[in-house]
Structure 1
């Protein structure tokens, strides 16, 4: 039975060098879920031998890599989303790999029509090979995006930790996930957000989105960081003790001041009493001196006229 040359070439390409040498290989997941509007990364790796066993040619380098949708071999003019031999401007399909081992593909802002089975093909100076298994990319609307927490209670003690995970019908392992707190974008990326050494600054409503525009945003998950009771007690005790000590020292200072005032007042009263006593003693002494003087004068005045009266009297009698 004769076979069409084109059909034969297709079969040979499908079989590829893999039929002769298992070192020709492309590895990627069987299927991949992408949320519409999000950016996803499809992991991929490839290997090839250094010598082509069937032809004996030395495989020195990879000369071309191609990603194509819904085609078994990505050969020749097959429509593709990436071709290293063609310059593609403003493409949503970005090749993150190289010409050595990595064949990772990134899909930016996925659309519904991007759902397909994608295959990778690489061509060397010794032959070409396509990973015929391919990876099925499914595109969903992402309406069921949710935030799940590693703790059941929304209140976490200060200094504790919590992990928030963005979940949906798709696996988020390779999706670009953006996180927000109270509507403000956080620097952290990825499907899981790890928060440790929590403080009151971590309190807020957390949401996740599958694109930077925030169109596919989850419902908020509220986190409240409660202050540690021991730390709160210590924080309260310090000012209380300070106030008690301040009041004690004020009372002590007031008591010392009052005693000093009392001692000064008492000393002043003693001095005043001494001054009064001294004045009274001085007045008493002055009165005694005056009295004796007057008495002395009275005695002299009475004795002076005595002889005169006697003389007169004697004259009359005679």
Structure 2
């Protein structure tokens, strides 16, 4: 297919600077997986020749040059941008984008574009964002057995068909939300209070959680062999106190040497 020079010139103008100029560059992952309903952050950075000032930054999808009449995930010049798309970057080097409560329809190829007072540039490669069902989330453990000794430790990891890129992970024990966040949950110095069913979710509502992973905490027999049961300790303590009280009473009841001397003198 032949392209006339005028059309080619327009396309090159829309794309930005010619050639693979290292001074003009956008860096982001080739693909990105998001679980439906979750919040995820797409890392991104950009560079441009020194001396230029960035006036506008744009995230769009399914368009090569992020021009008009396309869907904008974020546009710094448009106050009506969807609030679920939050720009965490700046106008200097960082172009990170945060997507809140991702929907299935938002699976697409996203590109970042920035416009300066001298030229404009769109990252040509783009990020292929894939949205999957939250049911694929699973809990994996650092131990093979669900039974862990008291005082021990275990690390639980929330895994998914997605490769996690700063995803917000929510953890639950017996259905109650924990304060810990992140793909890994570290539990150390375990007690019986830590026992229960652990689940994770990428949905803050907690409706789409993983299958439960049950943790059982048992007493370490090696450490407890020398320990006596509490009832036995109480009985021994009571016996000791009774013996001590008996000795004190007997000592106070016995006549002392001074009494014996006085008695002998009176009789004599």
TM range (shorter): 0.7 to 0.9
1:119 aligned partner? 111
Determine the C-alpha separation between the residues in 1 that align with 2:29 and 2:253. Answer: 94
Select which of 77, 85, 106 maps to 1:93. Answer: 85
CA contact (8 A) 1:173 1:191 kept: no
Aligned to 1:24: 24
SS at match of 2:215: strand
SS at match of 2:72: coil
Whether 2:143 is the aligned partner of 1:142: answer: no
Question: Structure 2 regions of 5+ residues with no counterpart?
Answer: 256-268
Equivalent pair of 2:61/2:70 in contact (CA under 8 Å): no
Which residue of structure 2 lines up, in the alignment, with residue 44 of structure 1? 44
Q: Aligned Cα RMSD in Å?
A: 2.8
In the TM superposition, what are the counterparts of 1:185-224 in structure 2 within 5 Å? 185-224=177-216
Distance between the aligned counterparts of 1:216 and 1:196, measured in 2?
27
> Structure 1 residue 202: deviation in Å?
1.4
Partner of 1:158: 150
Give the match's secondary structure for 2:207.
coil
Contact persistence 2:33–2:131 (CA under 8 A): yes
Q: CA deviation at 1:187?
A: 1.1
Length-normalised TM-score, structure 2: 0.84
More strand by percentage? 2
Change (3 A) 1:233 1:2: closer
For 1:292-303, what aligned pairs fall within 5 Å after superposition? none
Partner of 2:164: 172
What is the alpha-carbon distance in structure 2 between the residues aligned to residue 76 and residue 35 of structure 1? 29
For the residue of structure 1 that corresponds to 2:236, the secondary structure is: helix
How far apart are residue 199 of structure 1 and its match? 2.2
Residues 252/43 of structure 1: CA separation in 2 closer, same or farther (3 Å cut): closer
Query: Does residue 108 of structure 1 match 2:100?
Result: yes
Q: Which residue of 2 aligns with 1:9?
A: 10
Which one has the largest radius of gyration?
1
Cα shift at 1:128: 0.9
| SS across alignment from 1:236 | coil
Structure 2 SS opposite 1:8: helix
Per-residue CA deviations over 1:171-216 (Å, capped at 9, x if unaligned) read 2333211111111111111111112222222111111111111121
Alignment partners' CA distance in 1, 2:111 and 2:207: 30
Q: Any stretches of 5+ residues in structure 1 without a counterpart?
A: 51-57, 264-318
Conservation of the 8 A alpha-carbon contact between 1:36 and 1:112 = yes
Q: Match of 1:35?
A: 35
Matched, 1:227 2:228: no
